[in-house]
Amino acid sequence: MNFPHDDEERATLFKLAGKKSPDQASKIDIRGVSCGKGHFLLIAGPCAVESEEQIAGLAVRLKEAGADMLRGGAFKSRTSPYSFQGLGREGLTYLTEAGRRSGLPVISEITHPDQIPLFAHVDVIQVGARNMQNFELLKALGKTDKPILLKRGLAANYGEWLMSAEYIMREGNTNVILCERGIRTFESYTRNTLDLSALPALHQLTHLPVIVDPSHATGRSSFVEPMALAAAAAGADGLMIEVHERPSMARSDGAQALTPDAFSTLAIKIRQVRKVLETVEG
Amino acid sequence: MNFPHDDEERATLFKLAGKKSPDQASKIDIRGVSCGKGHFLLIAGPCAVESEEQIAGLAVRLKEAGADMLRGGAFKSRTSPYSFQGLGREGLTYLTEAGRRSGLPVISEITHPDQIPLFAHVDVIQVGARNMQNFELLKALGKTDKPILLKRGLAANYGEWLMSAEYIMREGNTNVILCERGIRTFESYTRNTLDLSALPALHQLTHLPVIVDPSHATGRSSFVEPMALAAAAAGADGLMIEVHERPSMARSDGAQALTPDAFSTLAIKIRQVRKVLETVEG
Amino acid sequence: MNFPHDDEERATLFKLAGKKSPDQASKIDIRGVSCGKGHFLLIAGPCAVESEEQIAGLAVRLKEAGADMLRGGAFKSRTSPYSFQGLGREGLTYLTEAGRRSGLPVISEITHPDQIPLFAHVDVIQVGARNMQNFELLKALGKTDKPILLKRGLAANYGEWLMSAEYIMREGNTNVILCERGIRTFESYTRNTLDLSALPALHQLTHLPVIVDPSHATGRSSFVEPMALAAAAAGADGLMIEVHERPSMARSDGAQALTPDAFSTLAIKIRQVRKVLETVEG
Amino acid sequence: MNFPHDDEERATLFKLAGKKSPDQASKIDIRGVSCGKGHFLLIAGPCAVESEEQIAGLAVRLKEAGADMLRGGAFKSRTSPYSFQGLGREGLTYLTEAGRRSGLPVISEITHPDQIPLFAHVDVIQVGARNMQNFELLKALGKTDKPILLKRGLAANYGEWLMSAEYIMREGNTNVILCERGIRTFESYTRNTLDLSALPALHQLTHLPVIVDPSHATGRSSFVEPMALAAAAAGADGLMIEVHERPSMARSDGAQALTPDAFSTLAIKIRQVRKVLETVEG
């Protein structure tokens, strides 16, 4: 779609996701933590839940390191049918249990409307980039009361992304968090091109919080820290970082995962960057 | 995904969609017509079924004009939840009835696995670009015995597209037709950039037939004829053309629809181009 | 630049390159051959002139095979300073001599305004994709009376491309031929993505002839024939095809070069496709 | 070009620009200021020099506000030949004079090798994005001893960009600073897509300093601050910011220019972000 530059037309298109006033900002509350309106949400965890022990141990480590929420994929959306597809229902159980014990709320990705009942103990439901325009899934999620993390499609522009949020909100669920995860360009050195201009752009267009996933965006663990700090400096409402106890042994996306120690250091730096910005703003 | 340039690795990835020998080509049979292995399939019809009269009248007109199959959307996958979403189940009924009376097999787009029973009288089920990586939908369709038309995603490369075909085929349904419909680039004068190199590329990589949709690709009715002829000249196994009795009155995508008369002329030219190529090849 | 959709604004921008009426079409005359307004120009030759014998022998072969003009690079614009940069002045001499003996007019690429005097016996001067917005070079060429072949930049949209033509024309030289050679996208299986929609688009916007280079666009010799035929079917005013006596021995871009025999076959097919289109149109 | 993932091949390609060891970093010295190896260079000024008074007044204001260097275009590289092309030689004189009086070194863009003598009093010569692969210009600049600021081409990947640096360095001039200024993607809400991953990527590949131009990249003044801070957080060696006394009156690119006051505030925030990073690193 072409972006409407006319304010009135824009208001018609983005009825619910669009800003009504420049200061409007939504805060999404998630079992003890919040995202948006000045609240920064730091999500960490493995690409995929691989075993009960893995996720349980990691959850404790991440909680100590400063994470606010635990991520872990159970239903994986993989390009190839021959790749590891996740542990499914069992993986969700391991994740929610690890979250319960560590005291961290949890987030996991959904791939089919029929899975919604399985997500009863999951705190935030993630819609992956490949399903950003799976409108039937969006409508089904719009009928739940769970916060939804909506990742940007690989080639979606800002207007289309907001329209997908609109699909969810229109069904009654306005708890939507947007997540920038890189777009597809001709540059192949990085997995995708992280588009941080999405932060000021979306903060201008919508009241919904916007977080950033530098792990999937860059595909390289050594790029995660600089891009995470950049996202924080550009006004992100949160970050989602892939962490694995032993990245080289990960069953998926190990090349982009941080070790728990590296995540711990990163969490400190992010807080420092955010503090200085708040001081300067104040 | 990065494309595997190594033959062995490629064979592992594209177990079912990949070519076993340079000459291997699949022919998909669809109630009296065929696609692939020298059989050219000319599909025509409106973007959306708008009424019983519209589709019934148009079907007869298109049959006379040389169409082999009738298209018509009932479950529309629209960027905005506020756009016309199609007539749904009723639309499918009008379409299949129009197909039955005109003698044309029919094709329509599916957007949710639960809709499969409604497609019992539809001859080919279409997966739209936005659902190319809706893997749950692909797996469900792989369990049917219907031919599937798989459109290329807006930013999908050849490898990913074939992987999505692989998802369908792996479940048992090997009747897959690929459809190039333009990719997203920086050029905004056209709706998308039609990538006709996909024809020689896929004919090198896969035995599945590949057709082209110049209507969605260009978004401009005056570009449909030259790009349709180009596709035929580049070896397409078929074409899907949007036709509307009165394009300016269409409820969706009127700007890219041909009139029945323009389609009739185009059908003649396509046959001529194909004939000359066959003669030269022969 | 954003494309002006308003006719009046468009006329202001494209003062000289823009169409004044739907039927306006320019014909560029080049020592006995023509391009545009129904005249099709078939250019063939090696990526680079490699020796006097090579280009002399090839010229005769190409003339017999149906080429209208001989191409051959002498000043090569290579990504790396360590790649073969062409034979320079000497290469131009070999090319013009081969053209003279075979009776074919010649075309070669220029990379610096100071080289203009060396092109005295070259019939058409080519501006490469990387120099499409080298405005100083364009202005200098606008002061000559040579036909200029202006290749599209790797990421140039139609408006910018026409603006570069405007830079040449404004200085007095209106003999400009546009050449589509593929744009840069996320698809990496082909070298570039050949954008054949540029043909109907530019034929709508400008009176200048538009030709296509399928060799550089695809980067694969086996894709050259289908894309060349597609270009002819879509209304191209000509084609530029890379041909090398022994592609595997070429000092640059051998992977995309045809053998003289393959070119000969292609030339026949192109004529056939063009004939059928003319008959149908007539 | 495809990026060489093999270390040895990479060393062969990037003989001079490539890193010899992980810690290697170049510092470019420019009349009292430096860029690289921990030295941050803050460049500010108008898109184009418009008058003697404008640039003289602005220079003093920018010096006070914390700028390290003054920018101002005299030879503008504009898409349309009918747009303001800069004041040329006269503009350069106004710029160097303003630099001399304010005590700021100056930078301006070159568009033709013949202009080199005119840049005698300019401290850094800029090569614009459109000329990144104007190899003749690069070679001529490689024979000077001036620091060169090499902007990334609109669709250049990291490898090609470094190769252009290599063209300059190979002629003897190793004082090259790279400048990321956004790449072309399908997202049209911003002028370009600022690719900040270029910072960790290039810091891994090359010892040359890398700065960022958030003004041209985003094309929107309200996005300049967040993206400038993001660049600083991601490890940029400097920034180039467009500033105009009255942005709405600017003869070019006013929409992306900051006022001097906004720049002053930004300069403070950048220093704060850099200080916290250095503290954390230390």
User: What residues pair up with B240 in beta bridges, in sequence order?
Assistant: B43
Which residues in chain D are contacts of B184 at CB distance < 8 A?
A: 186
At residue A123, the pLDDT reads: 98
CA C232 vs. chain centroid, Å, equals 14
pLDDT for position C167: 98
Nearest-by-CA chain C residue for A189: C186
**A186 chain-C contacts, CB cut-off 8 A:** 184-186
SS3 D30: strand
Q: Taking CA atoms, what residue in D is nearest to B185? A: D186
Query: Which amino acid is it at D217?
Result: A
Q: Looking at the partner chain, which of B183, B193, B230 has a beta carbon nearest the beta carbon of C233?
A: B230
Distances (CA, A) of D275 to A34, A277, B24, D268: 29, 12, 64, 11
Residues 6+ apart with CB under 8 A from A174: A16, A26
Q: Do C224 and C266 form a contact (C-beta atoms < 8 A)?
A: yes
Closest CA to A272 of A242, A219, A214, A232: A232
B32 burial type by CB count under 10 A (0-12 exposed, 13-18 middle, 19+ buried): exposed
Closest CA relative to residue D193, chosen from D152, D232, D238: D152
Q: How far apart are alpha carbons B279 and C21 in whole angstroms?
A: 38
Å from A226 to nearest chain D CA?
4
CA distance A247 to B179: 38
pLDDT for the residue A5 = 67
Question: CA-CA distance, C78 to D139, in Å (whole number)?
Answer: 13
pLDDT of residue C232: 98
Instruction: State which residues of chain D have pLDDT below 50.
Output: none
- Cα dihedral across residues C42, C48, C49, C55: positive or negative: negative
Altogether, the residues listed in chain B come to a count of: 282
Running DSSP on this structure, what letter comes out for residue A225?
H
Q: Which residues of A touch B82 (CB under 8 A)?
A: 12-13, 15, 166
C157-206 pLDDT per residue, tens: 999 999 999 999 999 999 999 999 999 999 999 999 999 999 999 999 99
Q: Which positions in chain D touch C82 (Cβ < 8 Å)?
A: 12-13, 15, 166
d(C-alpha D108, C-alpha D174), whole Å: 19
Contact A190, A3 (CB under 8 A): no
> Which of A81, A111, A160 is the closest to B170 by Cβ?
A81
Reported confidence tier of residue C10, pLDDT bands at 50, 70, 90: confident
pLDDT given at position B281 = 65
Strand, helix or coil at D183?
Answer: strand
Q: What is the DSSP string of chain C?
A: -PPP-SHHHHHHHTTTTB-SSTT----EEETTEEEBTTB-EEEEE-SB---HHHHHHHHHHHHHHT-SEEE-BSS---SSTTS----THHHHHHHHHHHHHHT--EEEEE-SGGGGGGGTT-SEEEE-GGGTT-HHHHHHHHTS-S-EEEEPPTT--HHHHHHHHHHHHHTT---EEEEE--B--S--SSSSB--TTHHHHHHHHBSS-EEE-HHHHH--HHHHHHHHHHHHHTT-SEEEEEB-SSGGG-SS-GGGPBPHHHHHHHHHHHHHHHHHHHHHH-
Select from D134, D115, D149 the least CA-distant residue to D45: D149
Please give the share of chain B, as a percent, with pLDDT higher than 90. 90
pLDDT of residue C5: 66
Question: In this structure, are residues D75 and D88 in contact, taking their beta carbons and an 8 Å threshold?
Answer: yes
Q: How many CB atoms lie within 10 A of CB D103?
A: 12
Q: Give pLDDT, residue A12.
A: 84
Residue pLDDT, tens place only, C22-42:
999 999 999 999 999 999 999
**How far is CA B248 from each of CA B88, B156, B188, B244, B258, rounded to the nearest angstrom?**
23, 31, 22, 9, 10
CA dist B229 and B272 (Å) reads 10
Q: What percent of chain A has pLDDT over 90?
A: 90
pLDDT at position B282 over 60: no
Task: Give the chains touching D; criterion: ≥3 Cβ pairs < 8 Å.
Answer: A, B, C
DSSP category for residue D228: H
Q: Tell whether the model's pLDDT for residue B49 goes beyond 90.
A: yes
Report helix, strand or coil for B23: coil
Identity of the residue in C12, C81, C153 whose CB atom sits nearest the CB atom of D170: C81
CA D278 from centre of chain: 23
pLDDT of B6 higher than 90:
no
Q: Give contacts of C166 with chain D, Cβ < 8 Å.
A: 80-82
**How many angstroms separate the CA of residue B128 from the nearest CA in chain C?**
19
Please tell me the distance in Å from B200's CA to the nearest CA on chain C. Answer: 6
Q: Judge whether residue B134 has pLDDT over 60.
A: yes
Confidence band of C281 (pLDDT split at 50, 70, 90) = low
Q: What is the pLDDT of residue B252?
A: 85
Q: Do D155 and C184 touch (CB under 8 A)?
A: yes
Mean pLDDT of chain A, nearest integer = 95
Rounded average pLDDT over B46-58: 97
Residues of chain A positioned with their CB less than 8 A from the CB of C185: 186
What span, in angstroms and rounded, lies between the C-alpha atoms of B148 and B124? 6
Cβ <8 Å between D112 and C166: no
Three-class secondary structure assignment of A78-113: CCCCCCCCCCCHHHHHHHHHHHHHHCCCEEEEECCH
Q: Identify the three-state secondary structure at position D8.
A: helix
Distance from CA of D186 to the nearest CA of B (A): 4
Which among B201, B230, B269 has the least Cβ separation from residue C196? B230
Instruction: Please work out, in degrees rounded to the nearest 5, the angle formed at the alpha carbon of residue B124 by the alpha carbons of B119 and B125.
Output: 60
DSSP reduced 3-state for B39: strand
Of A134, A182, A181, which Cα lies nearest the Cα of B79? A134
* pLDDT band (50, 70, 90) for residue C280: low
Averaged pLDDT score across all residues of chain C: 95
Could you tell me the two tokens for A246? 């032993």
Per-residue model confidence as pLDDT tens digits over A57-107 = 999 999 999 999 999 999 998 999 999 999 999 999 999 999 999 999 999
How does the average pLDDT of chain B come out, rounded? 95
Distance CA D153, CA D138 (A): 13
pLDDT at D241: 98
Q: What length does chain D have? A: 282
Give B4 to chain D, closest Cα distance, Å. Answer: 14
User: Does residue A139 contact residue A167 with C-beta atoms inside 8 Å?
Assistant: yes
pLDDT band at B4 (very low <50, low <70, confident <90, very high): confident
Contacts of D261 (CB under 8 A, 6+ apart): none
- What are the chain D neighbours of C73 within 8 Å (beta carbons)? none
Burial of A27 (0-12, 13-18, 19+ CB in 10 A): middle
Question: For chain A, which chains pass the contact test of at least 3 CB pairs under 8 Å?
Answer: B, C, D
- Hey, how many other C-beta atoms are within 10 angstroms of the C-beta on B37? 14
Q: Rounded distance, CA A185 to CA C193, Å?
A: 13
- What are the beta bridge partners of residue D18? D206
pLDDT at D5: 67
CB pairs under 8 A between B and D: 6
Q: Which tens digits make up the pLDDT trace of A211-267?
A: 999 999 999 999 999 999 999 999 999 999 999 999 998 888 889 999 999 999 999
Question: What is the pLDDT at residue D184?
Answer: 97
Using CA coordinates, name the residue in chain C closest to D81. C167
Reference A201, options A274, A149, A152; nearest CA is: A152
The pLDDT assigned to D89 comes to 97
Give the pLDDT mean for A22-46: 97
- Alpha carbon separation from D72 to A163, D93, D247 (Å, rounded): 41, 11, 14
Q: State mean pLDDT over B126-142.
A: 98
pLDDT at site B99? 98
Q: Give the model confidence (pLDDT) of A6-21 as tens digits.
A: 777 888 889 999 999 9
Distance from CA of A8 to the nearest CA of D (A): 17
**Residues B255-273: what's their mean pLDDT?**
96
Nearest CA in chain B to C159: B189
Half-sphere exposure of C253 (CA within 13 A, CB side): 30
pTM: 0.96
As given in the structure block, the two tokens for residue D137 are 């210009």
Task: Out of B111, B154, B163, name the one closest to residue A155 (CB).
Answer: B154
